[in-house]
Amino acid sequence: MTRFEFDITAKDDAARTGVIKMARGEIRTPAFMPVGTAATVKAMYPGHVRETGADIVLANTYHLMLRPGAERIAKLGGLHRFMNWNWPILTDSGGYQVMSLSKMRKISEEGVEFQSHIDGETIMLTPERAMEVQALLGADIVMAFDECTPYPATHGEAKESMELSMRWAGRSRKAFDANKDHARAAAVFGITQGGVYEDLRIASAKALKAIGFDGYAIGGLAVGEGQDEMFRALDFTVPHLPGDAPRYLMGVGKPADLIGAVRRGIDMFDCVLPTRSGRMGEAFTREGELNLKNARFREDTGSLDEKCGCPACLDYSRAYIHHLVRAGEMLGSMLLTWHNLHFYQDLMRAMRKSISEGTFSDFEGL
Amino acid sequence: MTRFEFDITAKDDAARTGVIKMARGEIRTPAFMPVGTAATVKAMYPGHVRETGADIVLANTYHLMLRPGAERIAKLGGLHRFMNWNWPILTDSGGYQVMSLSKMRKISEEGVEFQSHIDGETIMLTPERAMEVQALLGADIVMAFDECTPYPATHGEAKESMELSMRWAGRSRKAFDANKDHARAAAVFGITQGGVYEDLRIASAKALKAIGFDGYAIGGLAVGEGQDEMFRALDFTVPHLPGDAPRYLMGVGKPADLIGAVRRGIDMFDCVLPTRSGRMGEAFTREGELNLKNARFREDTGSLDEKCGCPACLDYSRAYIHHLVRAGEMLGSMLLTWHNLHFYQDLMRAMRKSISEGTFSDFEGL
């Protein structure tokens, strides 16, 4: 059984394409991971998520530990069986959601004490508990527990936060390894922090490499700094990450963000944008983003994107989807989410092909 | 091309099974028609509605004339293409929704003037306009325009209302026939009214027969009178309807209502119950109705109904669906709606089989 193997099959400047091999399946890179926060990619049947070309989905430690509970999911046979997704799952560690969703946080060296956004219960999340939860879920790729540094942050604040995350990364790795049954089949990724400060990002990358991980994520970006700052941070961070391990840019992004990040050597992404936009009536298309609520679509017999092969584009008109969105019908969210996920996977397919063919410097998108 | 043909293949006491043949497909009877109010069976892909065994769906004249508009749907190629459903569609005439949804109704001999529940616009619906709208939609089975008599109503009120509906039925038939292009491929049903009064129901049936329709509906039941009263009304109404035409009990009902009505000679049903209940977290099963919100399901690894063959039952546990419902996830509504529609079609399949085999007197449900 292959636990975790990353084969880079082609490079084009800093961009690369390849495949991550794991027990539950292969992940073609650059990869986009649809977000299944609460053990469901919203408005999608898991089989359809697979059909779009997704090799892996993301699920959220924070949400699932609160509801229905990690121990409960373990008792029910693990997350894969629970949500009927039989391919790799990456779980984030909960660090980001503790910051963005919970109230009354108390951060200490030990971890974060917070109140559940669901029932107000007081909960302690530590690197050790985050690893335990992800093992209970049965995650294939586990993320180290970190503090997502807020933006903006002073150099001093970002340094203190990053250093705490690095100590937590060490504890995460140790706790991951201690659970041998799970570690035998799963992989663990570290997360660089350090805000938009070059010296801190380099120090963070160095600290993670010293610990040693299967993959290296870049956290704390796409939090309001803008695309230029984000690309600048990638420019000075990526060269300090190991070349033979996958690099994962967390929570990103728009199509142009993905292209720019792949150009800078990123291999993996996750983002709620295609799914959330779908539920808001928005479609990503080869002619740009469309808001299907717009009255200009009410008699448009064309498909969302005439070059797209997804069922929403093959079988339904913009006029119909406009009607569904206006009427608040669930099928509108279902079709737009399906299309958007298909569009994102089309983009990843096109990038992988372009890198393989050595033409990625000319790649401009779908 | 067969416009409309009803072949009864077996009878068992008053119950009968058969097939309605139309240009867009065959409708096996007794038939349950899922409700697609706004040109979508809520939370379902149309292909999946078909997979449950539905031969026909219902759509609503009232909703569609207000949004997106009948002329617009006609311009877009008709309702079938619009909603991607290529089999028969029955459209109700709008009479019921005018009563239940709109404000400021003014009923006259001519028709009903009302305010749209969407934008407050004043609209006039007459038998002629109801026929025009249904032709613009391209309905396969068109319903006569009627006044749905409120319950309770005095004998005098019910009589006056029924007699108005019968005059409207005559005008509906005439308007339907006048649109020859549409009438060539479509069928038109009359609707008996008369509340729970035997003499009025008999007079209504007689009036409709004198006009002559392809099928005969029973309207104005399941409006609060209770199952006993409803069955009593069927007992004295059905014998006065033609034996060789389909009989359609509108807006009914629970599984036990369907069984009792089939026993009394009803061939067609529509009801929002399986779809609406699904969105409320409720499942119809062989062990009764289950509320999936209930905490007793949180670690239940069983399927919704262990004898059901629908995807919700084959691939997901009650515990997972409980989680989805609790978390307010759309997939919960999607799976429960699919299951409930499958359950209803299983019930219809079982009744058709039982009637064919002459064992329907012993039929007790799934």
The pLDDT tens digits for A339-355 are 999 999 999 999 999 99
Q: Are residues A43 and A155 in the same domain?
A: yes
CA dist., res. A346 & res. A123, Å (int): 40
Asked whether A249 and A269 are in contact (CB, 8 A), the reply is: yes
C-alpha span between B175 and B126 (Å, rounded): 11
Q: Do B84 and A315 touch (CB under 8 A)?
A: yes
| Residue B7 pLDDT > 80 | yes
Q: Considering only alpha carbons, which residue of chain B is nearest residue A302?
A: B76
B343 inside domain: no
- pLDDT tens for B328-351 read 999 999 999 999 999 999 999 999
Co-location of A61 and A196 in the same domain: yes
Please tell me the least confidently modeled range out of A31-40, B96-105, B323-332.
Answer: B96-105
Whether chain B has a CB inside 8 Å of the CB on A5: the answer is no
pLDDT-derived band at B150 (thresholds 50, 70, 90) equals confident
Nearest CA distance, B279 vs chain A (angstrom)? 10
Rounded to a whole number of angstroms, the distance from the CA of B32 to the nearest CA of chain A is 21
Residues of A annotated catalytic, as ranges? 92, 270
pLDDT tens readout for residues B272-315:
999 999 999 999 999 999 999 999 999 999 999 999 999 999 99
Chain B residue numbers touching A316 (CB-CB < 8 A): 84
Q: Which pLDDT value is given to residue B104?
A: 75
Helices (H), chain B: 46-51, 61-66, 70-75, 79-83, 95-101, 127-137, 155-178, 180-183, 198-211, 227-237, 255-263, 273-279, 311-315, 318-326, 330-356
Is the predicted pLDDT of residue A102 greater than 80, yes or no?
no
The burial of B359, by beta-carbon neighbours within 10 Å (0-12 exposed, 13-18 middle, 19 or more buried), is given as: exposed
Per the structure, the complete domain to which residue A130 belongs is given by: 4-271
pLDDT band at A1 (very low <50, low <70, confident <90, very high): confident
Residue B73 sits in the same domain as residue B90: yes
| pLDDT recorded at residue B98 | 85
**Does B292 map to a domain?**
yes
| Residue B270 annotated among the catalytic residues of the structure | yes
* pLDDT > 90? residue B117: no
> Do B283 and B135 have their domain in common?
no
Chain B residues within 8 A of A40 when measuring between CB atoms: 324, 329-331
Q: The whole model's pTM is what? A: 0.98
**B349 lies in some domain:** no
Query: Taking 80 as the threshold, does the pLDDT of residue B103 lie above it?
Result: no
Quick one: which H or E segment has residue A256? helix A255-263
pLDDT for position B231: 98
> Domain ends where: A237, A256, A271?
A271
Selecting from B39, B326, B330 the residue whose C-beta is nearest the C-beta of A333 gives: B330
Where residue B91 sits, what CATH number does that domain have?
3.20.20.105
Distance CA A57, CA A92 (A): 11
Q: Domain check: are A267 and A281 in the same one?
A: no
Q: What is the DSSP letter of B35?
A: B
A175 and A249 assigned to the same domain: yes
B72/A324 Cβ within 8 A: no
Euclidean distance between CA atoms B225 and B219, whole angstroms: 13
pLDDT at B39: 98
Residue B305 burial (C-beta neighbours within 10 Å; 0-12, 13-18, 19+): buried
Q: What pLDDT is recorded for position B189?
A: 98
Q: How confident is the model at residue B248 (pLDDT cuts 50, 70, 90)?
A: very high
Query: Do residues B300 and B216 both lie within one domain?
Result: no
B122 shares its domain with B234: yes
Which residue in the list B55, B92, B214, B305 is annotated as catalytic?
B92
Shared domain check, A170 and A209: yes
Domain boundary residue, one of A240, A271, A302:
A271
C-alpha distance from B222 to closest chain A C-alpha (Å): 26
Q: Which residue of B has its CA nearest to A314?
A: B84
* Residue B185, pLDDT score: 95
- Please indicate whether, in this complex, the C-beta atoms of A329 and B40 are within 8 angstroms of each other: yes
Number of folded domains in chain B? 2
* Judgement on whether residues A194 and A308 belong to the same structural domain of the protein: no
| Average pLDDT of the residues in A154-182 | 98
| Contact state of B324 with A40 under an 8 Å Cβ cutoff | yes
| Residue B42 pLDDT level (bands cut at 50, 70, 90) | very high
Substitution target in B35, B37, B40, B301 with the highest count of A β-carbons within 10 Å is B40
Q: Which of B51, B85, B327, B330 is nearest to A336 (CA)?
A: B330
Task: Looking at the structure, tell me whether residues A83 and A216 fall in a common domain.
Answer: yes
Residue A103 has pLDDT above 90, yes or no: no
DSSP E strand stretches across B76-125: 89-92, 103-107, 112-115, 122-125
Cβ distance A83 to B39 less than 8 Å, yes or no, reads no
ipTM value:
0.98
CB < 8 Å to B326, chain A: 67-68
B202 has a chain A CB within 8 A of its CB: no
pLDDT value of residue A117: 86
Q: Does A83 touch chain B (CB under 8 A)?
A: yes
Kindly report the CA angle at A235 between A230 and A240, in degrees rounded to 5?
120
Could A326 and B67 be called an inter-chain contact, meaning their C-beta atoms sit closer than 8 Å? yes
Give the span between the Cα atoms of A48 and A8, in whole angstroms: 28
- Residue pair B146/B165 in contact (Cβ under 8 Å)? The answer is yes
Please state, for a pLDDT cut of 90, what percent of chain A lies above it: 93
In a domain, B242, yes or no: yes
The separation between the first and the last C-alpha atoms of chain A, rounded to the nearest angstrom, is 36
Same domain, yes or no, for B32 and B113? yes
The per-residue pLDDT for range A44-83, each reduced to its tens digit, is 999 999 999 999 999 999 999 999 999 999 999 999 999 9
- Predicted local distance difference test score (pLDDT) of residue A148: 87
pLDDT of B308: 98
Q: How far lies B298's CA from each of A68, A70, B309, in Å?
A: 8, 13, 22
Reported as a pLDDT band with limits 50, 70 and 90, residue B365 is very high
Task: Say whether pLDDT at A150 is over 90.
Answer: no
